[in-house]
Homo-oligomer: A and B are copies of this chain.
Amino acid sequence: MARTREFDENIALDAAMKLFWEKGYEATSLSDLTARMGIQRPSIYSAFGDKKELFEATLRKYTMSHASDMRAQLQSHSSVKKAFLALFEGVVAEEYAVDRSRGCFCINTMVELAPHDEKFEILTREHQMYLAVIFQEAIERGVNSGELDAHTDPKALSQALVLSLIGLSVMVKSRPQRSFLDNAISVTLSLVK
Protein backbone atom coordinates (compact mmCIF):
# COMPACT_ATOMS: atom_id res chain seq x y z
CA MET A 1 0.00 0.00 0.00
CA ALA A 2 3.01 2.29 0.15
CA ARG A 3 6.68 2.79 -0.42
CA THR A 4 8.99 0.01 0.78
CA ARG A 5 11.77 0.62 3.30
CA GLU A 6 15.05 1.19 1.51
CA PHE A 7 17.38 0.16 4.34
CA ASP A 8 17.80 -3.16 6.08
CA GLU A 9 16.55 -2.71 9.63
CA ASN A 10 18.76 -5.47 10.93
CA ILE A 11 21.92 -3.99 9.41
CA ALA A 12 21.02 -0.54 10.70
CA LEU A 13 20.32 -1.92 14.18
CA ASP A 14 23.63 -3.71 14.12
CA ALA A 15 25.46 -0.48 13.30
CA ALA A 16 23.66 1.29 16.15
CA MET A 17 24.56 -1.54 18.49
CA LYS A 18 28.25 -1.29 17.73
CA LEU A 19 28.18 2.45 18.30
CA PHE A 20 26.34 2.31 21.64
CA TRP A 21 28.54 -0.60 22.64
CA GLU A 22 31.67 1.41 21.88
CA LYS A 23 30.68 4.80 23.26
CA GLY A 24 27.87 4.20 25.72
CA TYR A 25 24.41 5.73 25.75
CA GLU A 26 25.11 9.32 26.77
CA ALA A 27 28.18 9.83 24.63
CA THR A 28 26.42 8.66 21.47
CA SER A 29 24.49 11.40 19.66
CA LEU A 30 21.75 11.12 17.09
CA SER A 31 24.18 12.57 14.56
CA ASP A 32 26.68 9.79 15.34
CA LEU A 33 23.89 7.31 14.83
CA THR A 34 22.63 8.62 11.49
CA ALA A 35 26.20 8.68 10.20
CA ARG A 36 26.95 5.10 11.15
CA MET A 37 23.53 3.64 10.42
CA GLY A 38 23.52 5.29 7.00
CA ILE A 39 19.96 6.54 7.35
CA GLN A 40 18.27 9.83 8.15
CA ARG A 41 17.04 10.91 11.52
CA PRO A 42 13.29 10.48 10.87
CA SER A 43 13.96 6.97 9.62
CA ILE A 44 15.42 6.07 12.98
CA TYR A 45 12.41 7.41 14.81
CA SER A 46 9.89 5.69 12.55
CA ALA A 47 11.69 2.35 12.64
CA PHE A 48 12.97 2.18 16.21
CA GLY A 49 11.38 4.94 18.31
CA ASP A 50 13.41 7.42 20.32
CA LYS A 51 17.03 7.15 21.41
CA LYS A 52 16.33 5.12 24.55
CA GLU A 53 14.11 2.68 22.67
CA LEU A 54 16.73 2.25 19.99
CA PHE A 55 19.30 1.62 22.68
CA GLU A 56 17.08 -0.98 24.27
CA ALA A 57 16.63 -2.75 20.94
CA THR A 58 20.40 -2.88 20.42
CA LEU A 59 20.95 -4.22 23.91
CA ARG A 60 18.35 -6.95 23.38
CA LYS A 61 20.04 -7.88 20.13
CA TYR A 62 23.39 -8.01 21.92
CA THR A 63 22.29 -10.13 24.85
CA MET A 64 20.65 -12.71 22.60
CA SER A 65 23.69 -13.02 20.42
CA HIS A 66 26.09 -12.97 23.38
CA ALA A 67 24.19 -15.69 25.22
CA SER A 68 24.27 -18.06 22.27
CA ASP A 69 27.95 -17.28 21.70
CA MET A 70 28.72 -18.18 25.29
CA ARG A 71 26.71 -21.34 25.11
CA ALA A 72 28.45 -22.37 21.91
CA GLN A 73 31.89 -21.66 23.36
CA LEU A 74 31.23 -23.76 26.43
CA GLN A 75 30.00 -26.64 24.30
CA SER A 76 32.91 -26.50 21.89
CA HIS A 77 35.29 -28.26 24.29
CA SER A 78 34.86 -31.76 25.62
CA SER A 79 36.69 -30.68 28.78
CA VAL A 80 34.75 -28.24 30.93
CA LYS A 81 37.93 -26.97 32.55
CA LYS A 82 39.43 -26.16 29.18
CA ALA A 83 36.23 -24.55 28.04
CA PHE A 84 36.21 -22.08 30.93
CA LEU A 85 39.92 -21.42 30.51
CA ALA A 86 39.40 -20.63 26.84
CA LEU A 87 36.47 -18.40 27.70
CA PHE A 88 38.38 -16.34 30.26
CA GLU A 89 41.56 -16.16 28.24
CA GLY A 90 39.55 -15.15 25.20
CA VAL A 91 38.41 -12.00 27.01
CA VAL A 92 42.02 -11.07 27.67
CA ALA A 93 43.22 -11.93 24.18
CA GLU A 94 40.47 -9.87 22.56
CA GLU A 95 41.27 -6.82 24.61
CA TYR A 96 44.97 -6.96 23.83
CA ALA A 97 44.45 -7.59 20.12
CA VAL A 98 45.50 -4.97 17.57
CA ASP A 99 42.17 -3.16 17.72
CA ARG A 100 40.97 -3.39 21.27
CA SER A 101 37.63 -4.95 22.11
CA ARG A 102 34.55 -3.00 23.09
CA GLY A 103 34.23 -5.17 26.18
CA CYS A 104 30.79 -6.45 27.11
CA PHE A 105 27.88 -4.23 26.15
CA CYS A 106 25.73 -5.60 28.94
CA ILE A 107 28.32 -4.83 31.58
CA ASN A 108 28.75 -1.32 30.20
CA THR A 109 25.00 -0.86 30.51
CA MET A 110 24.90 -2.25 34.04
CA VAL A 111 27.33 0.47 35.04
CA GLU A 112 25.92 3.36 33.02
CA LEU A 113 22.16 2.86 33.14
CA ALA A 114 21.05 0.10 35.51
CA PRO A 115 21.42 2.23 38.66
CA HIS A 116 19.14 4.95 37.27
CA ASP A 117 16.71 3.07 35.05
CA GLU A 118 14.77 0.06 36.26
CA LYS A 119 14.20 -1.25 32.76
CA PHE A 120 17.91 -1.70 32.27
CA GLU A 121 18.42 -2.98 35.77
CA ILE A 122 16.03 -5.81 34.90
CA LEU A 123 17.36 -6.40 31.39
CA THR A 124 20.96 -6.66 32.50
CA ARG A 125 20.11 -8.76 35.54
CA GLU A 126 18.20 -11.25 33.43
CA HIS A 127 21.13 -11.61 31.08
CA GLN A 128 23.54 -12.34 33.91
CA MET A 129 21.09 -14.84 35.36
CA TYR A 130 20.94 -16.53 31.99
CA LEU A 131 24.72 -16.69 31.74
CA ALA A 132 24.83 -18.24 35.20
CA VAL A 133 22.45 -20.95 34.04
CA ILE A 134 24.59 -21.65 30.98
CA PHE A 135 27.64 -21.89 33.22
CA GLN A 136 25.82 -24.14 35.62
CA GLU A 137 24.81 -26.53 32.86
CA ALA A 138 28.40 -26.77 31.70
CA ILE A 139 29.58 -27.51 35.22
CA GLU A 140 26.90 -30.14 35.65
CA ARG A 141 28.09 -31.80 32.46
CA GLY A 142 31.56 -31.88 33.96
CA VAL A 143 30.30 -33.43 37.18
CA ASN A 144 28.26 -36.03 35.33
CA SER A 145 31.15 -36.99 33.07
CA GLY A 146 33.39 -37.41 36.08
CA GLU A 147 35.74 -34.62 35.04
CA LEU A 148 34.73 -32.54 38.05
CA ASP A 149 34.50 -33.43 41.71
CA ALA A 150 31.20 -34.97 42.65
CA HIS A 151 30.99 -32.64 45.66
CA THR A 152 30.89 -29.58 43.44
CA ASP A 153 27.99 -27.18 43.96
CA PRO A 154 27.30 -26.31 40.31
CA LYS A 155 24.96 -23.42 41.02
CA ALA A 156 27.16 -21.61 43.51
CA LEU A 157 30.28 -22.21 41.45
CA SER A 158 28.67 -20.87 38.29
CA GLN A 159 27.60 -17.75 40.16
CA ALA A 160 31.14 -17.18 41.38
CA LEU A 161 32.46 -17.61 37.85
CA VAL A 162 29.98 -15.09 36.47
CA LEU A 163 31.22 -12.57 39.02
CA SER A 164 34.85 -13.20 38.13
CA LEU A 165 34.16 -12.95 34.42
CA ILE A 166 32.49 -9.60 34.95
CA GLY A 167 35.46 -8.46 36.99
CA LEU A 168 37.82 -9.60 34.28
CA SER A 169 35.82 -7.85 31.55
CA VAL A 170 35.98 -4.59 33.48
CA MET A 171 39.57 -4.91 34.58
CA VAL A 172 40.92 -5.35 31.05
CA LYS A 173 39.64 -1.87 30.21
CA SER A 174 42.45 -0.41 32.30
CA ARG A 175 44.99 -2.64 30.48
CA PRO A 176 46.96 -4.07 33.38
CA GLN A 177 49.93 -6.36 32.84
CA ARG A 178 48.80 -9.65 31.34
CA SER A 179 50.47 -11.52 34.19
CA PHE A 180 48.00 -9.89 36.57
CA LEU A 181 45.09 -11.28 34.60
CA ASP A 182 46.72 -14.63 33.96
CA ASN A 183 47.37 -15.10 37.66
CA ALA A 184 43.85 -14.10 38.58
CA ILE A 185 42.33 -16.43 35.99
CA SER A 186 44.50 -19.28 37.11
CA VAL A 187 43.56 -18.91 40.76
CA THR A 188 39.87 -18.41 40.02
CA LEU A 189 39.62 -21.42 37.73
CA SER A 190 41.30 -23.58 40.35
CA LEU A 191 37.79 -23.57 41.82
CA VAL A 192 36.72 -25.71 38.87
CA LYS A 193 38.22 -29.00 39.93
Q: At the interface with chain B, which of A60-68, A74-82, A149-157?
A: A149-157
Indicate whether A187 sits within 8 Å of B159 (C-beta atoms), given known contacts A107-B111, A167-B164: yes
A159-B187, A160-B184 given; 17 more Cβ-contact pairs under 8 Å: A24-B26, A103-B111, A107-B111, A115-B173, A122-B174, A128-B174, A153-B187, A157-B187, A159-B181, A160-B164, A160-B187, A162-B167, A163-B171, A164-B188, A165-B167, A166-B166, A170-B170
| Chain A interface category by residue count | 35 or more
Interface SS of chain A:
helix
Which chain B residues lie closer than 8 Å to A26 at the CB level? 24, 26-27
Is A4 an interface position by the 8 A CB rule?
no
Q: Separation in Å of the A156 CB from the closest CB of chain B? A: 4
Contact with B along A177-189 (1 / 0, CB 8 A): 0001101111110
Is A70 an interface position by the 8 A CB rule?
no
CA distance A190 to B168 in the complex (A): 19
A168 touches B176 (CB 8 A): no
Chosen A-B contacts, 13 in total, with CB atoms closer than 8 Å, are A107-B170, A108-B111, A110-B170, A110-B171, A114-B175, A128-B171, A153-B187, A156-B183, A160-B164, A160-B187, A162-B167, A163-B164, A167-B170
Indicate whether A176 sits within 8 Å of B129 (C-beta atoms), given known contacts A163-B168, A166-B170: yes
Indicate whether A103 sits within 8 Å of B128 (C-beta atoms), given known contacts A156-B184, A160-B184, A167-B165: no
Is A121 an interface position by the 8 A CB rule?
yes
CA distance A156 to B170 in the complex (A): 18
